[in-house]
Each structure stands twice: as structure tokens, then as C-alpha cells.
Amino acid sequence: MATGAAAAVGTIFAAWPFVAQMNPDASTIAAGAPIDVDLAPIADGQDIKVFWRGKPIYIMHRTKKQIEEARAVPTDTLKDPATDQSRVKEGHDQWLVVIGICTHLGCIPIAHEGLYDGFFCPCHGSQYDTSGRIRQGPAPANLPVPPYQFVTDTKIQIG
């Protein structure tokens, strides 16, 4: 009994390195460290795409109209309810920062397309609004907001 238990424990511990090696290695993790992005060159209504951890991050400088559109929608009508305020940093309402990976099956949506002036995924037709929230199509959730903070008024750190 004790021998069997010891063998089982030993096997599990011996198997662990074989599973753990599958996870991101040290260099991949190091390369995934936070990055700084300068927002000054992005004009009103424009957006840029930066890569962080191999993922495209959309940084959108929203116009007044886009912000109003996003805030006019009652949240209880949404598939994945979230207020626009909860998806941006207070005092920086014009900046939308989202991971540009469709929550359906991982394609990259195109900015400024679709019925909601937000994002449109060409793969299976999911449409996101100016707050990156899912409005139509098969995607189950909103475009995720990556961890980031404002270092200065025109500079953010993603990660």
C-alpha cells in the first residue's frame, strides 16, 4: 500500500516536468514584459496597432461622437454587459485600448468597420462597437482590455 502510494507520487512528480515544459519558456516570458506606447502622434479618430506578447493591441483615439455612441447604449441590451466607463481609464475617456483578437476563434478584427463603427471580424462576422463590446455575431465576449496604465497624459504602459 505504502509502496504503491510512493510509486504513484513519484510518477506524478516525474511527469510534471514533461507537462511544465509545454508552458512559455523564460525567454518568451521575458519578451512579454510591459511596453511603453507614446500616444501623442495618434490624431483624433485614428488608431494604431501595437504588438504585445504576440497579440495585436488596438489603441483608438475616439472622437466625441464615438464616445457618445458607446455610452448611449443601455448595458442590459448587450450580450456581455459592461459600461463604456469600465472599459477605459477615468479622465482618459477618449482612449480605448483593447486586444484585437476576436473572442470567437482568434481572428484579428478590422478597426473602423462594421455597423457600429468599431471593429468587424472578417472570419465569422462578429461586430464590436466603439467600446470594443460585442454587438452582433458569434463571439461570446467583448474584446478584452489588456492591463495598462497611464504613465503621463500621452504615454501608456501596457502590461
- Give how far Cα 98 sits from Cα of 17, 18, 95, Å: 34, 34, 10
Q: How many residues bind another protein (CB under 8 A)?
A: 26
The Cα–Cα gap between 115 and 127 comes to 7
- Give how far Cα 33 sits from Cα of 36, 87, 97, 102, 152, Å: 10, 22, 17, 23, 19
**Considering only 1-9, 86-94, 102-110, 150-158, which stretch makes contact with another protein by CB under 8 A?**
102-110
Which of 25, 72, 77, 90 is the binder for another protein (CB under 8 A)? 25
Between 3 and 23, CB nearer to another protein: 23
C-alpha grid cell, residue 27: 525567454
Residue 30 binds another protein, judged by CB under 8 A: no
Which of 42, 48, 55, 67 is the binder for another protein (CB under 8 A)? 55
Q: Look up residue 135 and give its DSSP letter.
A: E
Tell the smallest beta-carbon distance from residue 93 to another protein (Å): 28
- Give how far Cα 117 sits from Cα of 79, 97, 129, Å: 18, 15, 6
Tell the smallest beta-carbon distance from residue 54 to another protein (Å): 4
Please confirm, yes or no, whether 61 is among the known catalytic residues: no
Amino acid at 121: C
C-alpha grid cell, residue 22: 509545454
Dihedral over Cα of 131, 136, 138, 141: its sign: positive
According to DSSP, the β-strands at 127-128 and 134-136 are antiparallel
Tell the smallest beta-carbon distance from residue 5 to another protein (Å): 27
Which residues from 119-158 bind another protein, rule CB under 8 A? 121-125, 138-140
Tell the smallest beta-carbon distance from residue 16 to another protein (Å): 13
Residue 34 binds another protein, judged by CB under 8 A: no
**What residues act catalytically?**
124
Chain contacts with another protein (rule: CB under 8 A): 19, 22-25, 28, 32, 49, 51, 53-56, 104-108, 121-125, 138-140
